[in-house]
Amino acid sequence: MTSSPSTLQRVHGTLHALQVPIPYPMKTVTVMIDTSAPVTMIDTALDTPEARAAIEDGLTALGLHWPDVERVIITHHHPDHYGLAGLVEERSGAAVQMLDVEIGRGERYWHLWEEWLPGHLKHMADHGLPQELLDTLELDSRRTRARVQPASRVQPLREGAMLPLAGAEWEVLWLPGHADGHLGLWNESGGLLIAGDAVLPRISPNIGLYAYTRPDPLGDYLQTLGKLEALNPARAVVGHHGPVMDGVQARARELRAHHHERLDFIRAEAGREARSAYELSLAMFPRELNMAGRRFALAETLAHAEHLRLLGQLARTWQGEAWVYHG
């Protein structure tokens, strides 16, 4: 048997976690492989030569080849988790599965990207994103799309369903906020949660409002944090900076406090002076950010401003070329 790459770690029975390189600041994404039948891969990384090689090495170290993979479960549609889904499907004939909620919007985005782009751009422009950042959005979206191989068919999983994995039954959870249809898998007897990006140890998962997302991602996420607190897993396998973390309940409380601080900040800033979500994002994220970082900052700020508007704590008015939020 080939020696295991140092990035491969057994986390629970036949379930292994592989750290796969991605060209993003988090550096790696967790891809899980269960070697028991049905052989399952959970998440897939972005399509780059480095990621393909890392996954192949991981399979080899476990005595497997592409055709052995029988099932692929994707936690959410983001390119660093979904990117290779179509390739794994093609090489193995495996069934790709996602939460039903995610198939309708997030997964569809990769198929309809070109058609949805004008709406995506208009949404950002309507919230004040300057033209030079809109131009990079189109360019970066095109580049990312080239690294995503969408699956040809995706089977829906429903919240509350039980599925077999690593010789046990796991409950399918719906953990929205970071993505509308973010899936979690919960093994109650082992106290183990497969969390994807629903909770992360070192960074706050991006909660962004986009043209194609549900209207209140932050409201969704605060509920997800409540679910995680109540679940109180002993350990979670996470998408980045893992593969395993403990202290999920405490981390969920910390993230809740962090979002409440941001809500207080936005409420005070918009209350003082009417501003677009982009202008508010410059106040909330005053440090130097690259173009992509600025767009994430806008989407995150907007999720907070809209949450306050839906609670009746802020109003918004169309002013000239963009929406402005005010008290």
Residues that bind Zn ion (CB under 5 A): 78, 80, 197, 239
| Nearer to Zn ion among residue 59 and residue 207 (C-beta) | 207
Residue 93 backbone dihedrals phi, psi, to 5 degrees: 75, 10
Give how far the C-alpha of residue 208 lies from the chain's centroid of Cα atoms, to the nearest Å.
10
**Least distance in angstroms from the C-beta of 76 to Zn ion:** 6
What distance in Å separates the CA atoms of residue 29 and residue 62, rounded to the nearest whole number?
19
| Nearer to Zn ion among residue 52 and residue 241 (C-beta) | 241
192-196 and 235-238 strand pairing: parallel
What distance in Å separates the CA atoms of residue 52 and residue 318, rounded to the nearest whole number?
47
**Least distance in angstroms from the C-beta of 81 to Zn ion:** 5
| Nearer to Zn ion among residue 58 and residue 242 (C-beta) | 242
**Least distance in angstroms from the C-beta of 83 to Zn ion:** 10
**Least distance in angstroms from the C-beta of 59 to Zn ion:** 21
What letter would DSSP give residue 205?
P
**Least distance in angstroms from the C-beta of 22 to Zn ion:** 8
Length of the chain equals 327
The CB-based long-range contact list for 156-159 (8 Å cut-off, 24+ gap) reads: 156/97, 156/98, 156/99, 156/100, 156/103, 157/73, 157/97, 157/98, 157/99, 157/100, 157/183, 158/99, 158/100, 159/99
| Nearer to Zn ion among residue 78 and residue 295 (C-beta) | 78
Instruction: Provide the β-strand partners of residue 9.
Output: 17
Q: What burial class does residue 321 get, using C-beta atoms within 10 Å of its C-beta: 0-12 exposed, 13-18 middle, 19+ buried?
A: exposed
| Nearer to Zn ion among residue 75 and residue 187 (C-beta) | 75
Which residue number is nearest to Zn ion in terms of Cβ? 78
What distance in Å separates the CA atoms of residue 290 and residue 213, rounded to the nearest whole number?
23
| Nearer to Zn ion among residue 219 and residue 239 (C-beta) | 239
**Least distance in angstroms from the C-beta of 240 to Zn ion:** 6
